[in-house]
Amino acid sequence: MIQYTLKCDKGHEADSWFKSAGAYDALERAGHLSCAVCGSAKVSKALMAPRVTASKKDEAQTAPVLRNPASEVEKALAELRRKVEESSDYVGDKFVTEARAMHLGEKPERSIYGEARLDQARELIEDGVPLMPLPFRSKQKLT
């Protein structure tokens, strides 16, 4: 795992973990990175100082990386993410199918979140399926 501080074109910063440097690069090339605060797709790695330890023993003595406290917006988004992930089922790319099946009464209603293309979301809305875009990408999608 590797942690990067990401920064958008509007200056917002957020820390994020990736499986590897290659995983980050693949997500960036595919356009799957966005700002957790404003949703901007123009995100890049911020300048960071690496954390280096000589041994496991030294790791316990490593000082934490200093960073500006989260803004009120970042705190509110983090709380929203926590509530959504705690109270909803992540259905990934099956979101459209699951939402439509619940709307038609083919499946019991429950709170879900997942992935949908813009055209799919518009179709659901036009068909009267209640949904709301979330201002963050799911953590499952980023791994």
- Sketch the domain layout of the chain as residue ranges: 1-68, 69-143
Closest CA to 131 of 139, 143, 142, 120: 120
Asked if 12 and 39 touch (Cβ cutoff 8 Å), the reply is no
Q: pTM higher than 0.75, yes or no?
A: no
pLDDT score recorded for residue 141: 55
Tracing tokens 């500006």 back to the chain, one arrives at: 68
Asked if residue 6 lies in contact with residue 29, where contact means CB atoms within 8 angstroms, the answer is: no
Helical (H) or strand (E) element with 13: strand 13-18
Question: 66 pLDDT exceeds 70?
Answer: no
Confidence of residue 25 (pLDDT cuts 50, 70, 90): confident
